[in-house]
Structure 1
Amino acid sequence: MTPAARLSTAIDLLCAIENAPRRPADATANAFFRERRYIGGGDRRVVSGRVWDVLRGWRRLHWHLRDMEGGASPRALCAASLLLAGESFDVVDGLFSGERFAQNALASRERAALMPLEGRSLSDPAMPRAVRLEFPDWLEPYLIATFGDELERELAAMEGAAPLDLRVNLLKTDCEKALSALRQDSLLARPTALSPWGLRLDGRQPVTAAASFREGLVEIQDEGSQLVVAAVDAKPGERVLDFCAGAGGKTLALAMTMHNKGQIVACDVSAQRLEGAVKRLRRAGAHNVERHLLVSGDKWVKRRAGSFDRVLVDAPCSGTGTWRRNPDARIRLTENDISELRVKQAEILDRAASLVKPGGRLVYATCSLLAEENMAQIDAFLSRRADFELAPAGGEVLPEALREQSSFSLTPLRNGTDGFFAAVLRRVNVATTPET
């Protein structure tokens, strides 16, 4: 594709994302490219990279275009993104030639808004803090409560693209062999700093097309997510429940830590997500997993009360910790979402807790940065449940600094991972007073 055709396709994709405001951008992008299989891998990466640059700079780009007649269109946003990244106006103007596969020429109102941006930077000292750091205005008190004086540094660390992390599948290989297999696929990775199973690649690379991925030697999983699995500390032979399993990313890692011995039940409320786990489980060689769809009125939870050694609750959350990967989540998140999620998280935590054996472990995790979804949920849960207490994470996989902690928060600034929270609880026998 020519540069003009790539830009035109990026504008089309951005239009598709804007037209589906409640759908994650990556899901829209996947569907967009499936319908256009003639677009090659290299072109896809350039197009999606341009769109993701726009999404990462969404509030700042709109600030620069705030006086544009008719508002900032996808055309103007993509052009402004190029100009504020250092491209000249003449080059950008030339991409809107109106020729085959190119966008129509810039209108006078577009030229009037875009020409002054040449030579300027995306960030500007005159911007309000929420605009400069790309978060909704209403979220500032929540972020201050979480980060205090470190807010600016923490949010600035989420401005760029996230690295691509892989987890070595110890059911099929080891770290050295996986690194060698990736090199044969022309993918240069290095071990991660915190997870002994983790490998990191820089930038967007075609991992899913590599033989090492197709053969199940590695799985895409952020290093922080791997550490959540390490906190579960599941052992071979145990009964383990992944209560919000989704498409099974953490389920796969649990099967690995259990050496395929024992039983894992992967639950979710979405049949589509659970069905998506089947192919991944087969590729990874995970044989000790069964799936269960949670539906309204289901007595499954009641019948299995107190029957699991370990229960992982990877709770639905705001996803604020994944903003480097999913910058569109900043745009879609509302204050009402936080209120609704807090209620849902508490309900899920209570249901999952009933499934833990006395002496068993309950791990609550989110990919949120917000205290309201994290430690505040645990404090509220412990006030309701005298039969649970916080417990040291322990284990041999977590970094030594985390093993004695009963909860931990990871951030891109401090740890180089996505933002994650995990709390480890143990179910205890509580003495009851006999009735008189």
Structure 2
Amino acid sequence: MANPTPRDLALQALNHFDDKGILPRYFLEQSFRRYPGISGRDKALCVHLTNGVLRWRLRLDWYIEQSLNFPFDKVELRVLNILRIALYQILFMDRIPEPAAVNEAVKQTKSGGKPHVARFVNGLLRGIIRKRNSLKPFPESVDQVERLSVEHSYPQWLVGKWITELGEGRATSLLKASNEIPKLVVRVNTLKTSRAALIGYLAAEGVCASPTRFSPAGIHIDDLNVPITELGAFKEGLFQVQGEAAQICSFLLNPSKGDRVLEICAGIGGKATHLAEMVGPQGRVIGLDIKRGSLVRLRQTCKRLGISWLHPVCADAAKPLDKLFKKRFEGILIDSPCSGLGVISRHPDIKWAREESHIPELSKVQTQILASAGRILGPGGTLLYVTCTISREENEAVVNSFLERHPDMDVVDLRDKVPRWAKGLVDENGFFRTWPDVHGLDGFFGAMLVKR
């Protein structure tokens, strides 16, 4: 079976997202497994094109609309995505020659059996190239929400929400920061090596790496020319790919050696494996998730990292867990399902996959999970509620609602608990809060609760 080109695979990912709602990141993961012969370079280009279009989709559409002599909604979806991919290369990727982007778009269009449409694609793209310096980045004579929506490529509901909550200046700063391509960050596996030793190991593999600003276990990796899974350090289990803000969450819970700890909504185990490092072989970590596929990957990760005391459990955390766990936990970390508005830079599909109506629906589930976790936390135990969103309805509102219904739980002011390096990451209310535009980190929220 011949391997698809990076542009063809990006086109398939975008079409499946628009037609069926399949998130491109999951579609591409499956496609890379289906076509193992795709090179690392081609995989990287495919992901870059897909995320680039998703990151700038509304701005690209505005440029296309300015160049049409018929209504925008008359453009066939497949053709529209071909135009988006080509235009992203022309306007945002200096290393790809403009004629190559145009020619590949024409070739993709012809493969659909419509030569007259290919002529339209060719003419529109070449016309945009000729007048690129006079293109307007946003419509004139519109309100601030619509202007910022097109200029920074976000849905209007989200722009309006951030302006209402943060003010226009701060909202604009957040829009810009969340469009930045994020750095690749990994967490050193302290069971096998140290951060300094890992940086040296990576240097020997030709990889430029440096310590992260906040997390004492984090490393930035720059200019990686091969898939990270092909590095010797990865295969030997010396690190786990994990964002810096996510790493900090485990340091906040800070379990002791030998503790019995639960992570709820563990996924593939970024935080759970970190907690396992902290409690050591004499401790026990349970990684609970509703998705069996994620837990299979968690087992694989544990094997690579050399962790045998982390135990995956498949269950729905929104339902009571009392019968599942008879013994109470000293520590619980809830990596709560959320809108993901703090990690748009990593997953730009969130812009278009989320709707404003999802937020109250998610808040309801989050409240159920928090209540379920509170019942299996032992006396004196600590619970850390974490999200990767900046939506207050999913953060402070959920915590406050929980506290009103559970008088045996108290909130902990993290200003009195965190290490010195994390002091600047705690807000005036004692909550852990990171911002893309302030700290250069994913947007995370964390509240620590203790049971009397």
> Under a length normalisation based on structure 2, what TM-score does the superposition of the two structures give?
0.85
**CA 1:306–1:51 in structure 2 vs 1: closer, same or farther (change >3 Å)?**
same
2:194 corresponds in structure 1 to 174
CA distance in 2, matches of 1:204, 1:25: 22
Higher mean displacement: 129-138 or 378-387: 129-138
Match among 78, 87, 110 for residue 80 of structure 1 = 87
- Pairing 1:63-212 to 2, within 5 Å after superposition: 63-66=62-65, 67=68, 68=72, 69-71=74-76, 73-85=80-92, 90-96=99-105, 98=107, 107-118=118-129, 119-120=131-132, 124-126=137-139, 128-148=147-167, 149-202=169-222, 206-212=227-233
Give the conservation status (yes or no) of the 8 Å contact 1:170–1:256: yes
**CA 1:415–1:403 in structure 2 vs 1: closer, same or farther (change >3 Å)?**
closer
1:386-436 CA-to-partner distances (Å, cap 9, x unmatched) read 1111113325485243479731211221111111111111112xxxxxxxx
Give the conservation status (yes or no) of the 8 Å contact 1:146–1:369: no
1:84-108 CA-to-partner distances (Å, cap 9, x unmatched) read 2367764433334649x98886634
**CA 1:254–1:14 in structure 2 vs 1: closer, same or farther (change >3 Å)?**
same
Match among 347, 361, 368 for residue 326 of structure 1 = 347
CA distance in 2, matches of 1:310, 1:289: 14
1:288 corresponds in structure 2 to 309
2:32 corresponds in structure 1 to 33
2:422 corresponds in structure 1 to 399
CA distance in 2, matches of 1:354, 1:398: 32
Task: With a CA cutoff of 8 Å and minimum separation of 6, indicate the structure with the bigger relative contact order.
Answer: 1
Give the conservation status (yes or no) of the 8 Å contact 2:385–2:447: yes
CA distance in 2, matches of 1:175, 1:425: 31
SS at match of 1:224: helix
**1:297: Cα distance to partner?**
11
Give the conservation status (yes or no) of the 8 Å contact 1:233–1:395: no
One-letter identity of the residue aligned with 2:442: D
Give the conservation status (yes or no) of the 8 Å contact 2:336–2:385: yes
SS at match of 1:415: coil
Q: 2:404 matched to 1:383?
A: yes
1:269 corresponds in structure 2 to 290
CA distance in 1, matches of 2:383, 2:404: 16
1:60 corresponds in structure 2 to 59
Give the conservation status (yes or no) of the 8 Å contact 1:142–1:370: no
One-letter identity of the residue aligned with 1:117: I
One-letter identity of the residue aligned with 1:136: P
Give the conservation status (yes or no) of the 8 Å contact 1:366–1:374: yes
**1:185: Cα distance to partner?**
2.2
Give the conservation status (yes or no) of the 8 Å contact 1:318–1:338: yes
SS at match of 1:200: strand
One-letter identity of the residue aligned with 2:202: L
Give the conservation status (yes or no) of the 8 Å contact 1:14–1:51: yes
1:346-368 CA-to-partner distances (Å, cap 9, x unmatched) read 00011001111222111000011
SS at match of 2:51: helix
CA distance in 2, matches of 1:194, 1:334: 32
**1:305: Cα distance to partner?**
6.4
2:242 corresponds in structure 1 to 221
Percent of aligned pairs sharing the same letter: 27
**CA 1:396–1:97 in structure 2 vs 1: closer, same or farther (change >3 Å)?**
closer
> Under a length normalisation based on structure 1, what TM-score does the superposition of the two structures give?
0.88
Give the conservation status (yes or no) of the 8 Å contact 1:133–1:155: yes
1:257-297 CA-to-partner distances (Å, cap 9, x unmatched) read 22333111111112221122101111111222222221599
2:50 corresponds in structure 1 to 51
Give the conservation status (yes or no) of the 8 Å contact 1:123–1:132: no
Q: 2:438 matched to 1:414?
A: yes
One-letter identity of the residue aligned with 1:107: A
**CA 1:360–1:96 in structure 2 vs 1: closer, same or farther (change >3 Å)?**
closer
1:308-351 CA-to-partner distances (Å, cap 9, x unmatched) read 11111110001111111111111111122212111100000110
CA distance in 2, matches of 1:413, 1:55: 20
CA RMSD of aligned residues (A): 2.8
SS at match of 1:261: coil
Higher mean displacement: 103-112 or 141-150: 103-112
1:315 corresponds in structure 2 to 336
Higher mean displacement: 258-267 or 171-180: 258-267
CA distance in 1, matches of 2:91, 2:61: 12
Q: 2:18 matched to 1:18?
A: yes
Match among 248, 251, 254 for residue 275 of structure 2 = 254
CA distance in 1, matches of 2:266, 2:136: 39
**CA 1:110–1:285 in structure 2 vs 1: closer, same or farther (change >3 Å)?**
same
Higher mean displacement: 306-315 or 214-223: 306-315
Gaps of 5+ in 2: 140-145
CA distance in 1, matches of 2:286, 2:317: 18
1:227-254 CA-to-partner distances (Å, cap 9, x unmatched) read 1111111111111111211111100000
CA distance in 1, matches of 2:75, 2:395: 41
1:201-250 CA-to-partner distances (Å, cap 9, x unmatched) read 13665211111011110100000000111111111111111121111110
Give the conservation status (yes or no) of the 8 Å contact 2:386–2:445: yes
One-letter identity of the residue aligned with 1:7: R
1:431 corresponds in structure 2 to none
SS at match of 1:245: coil
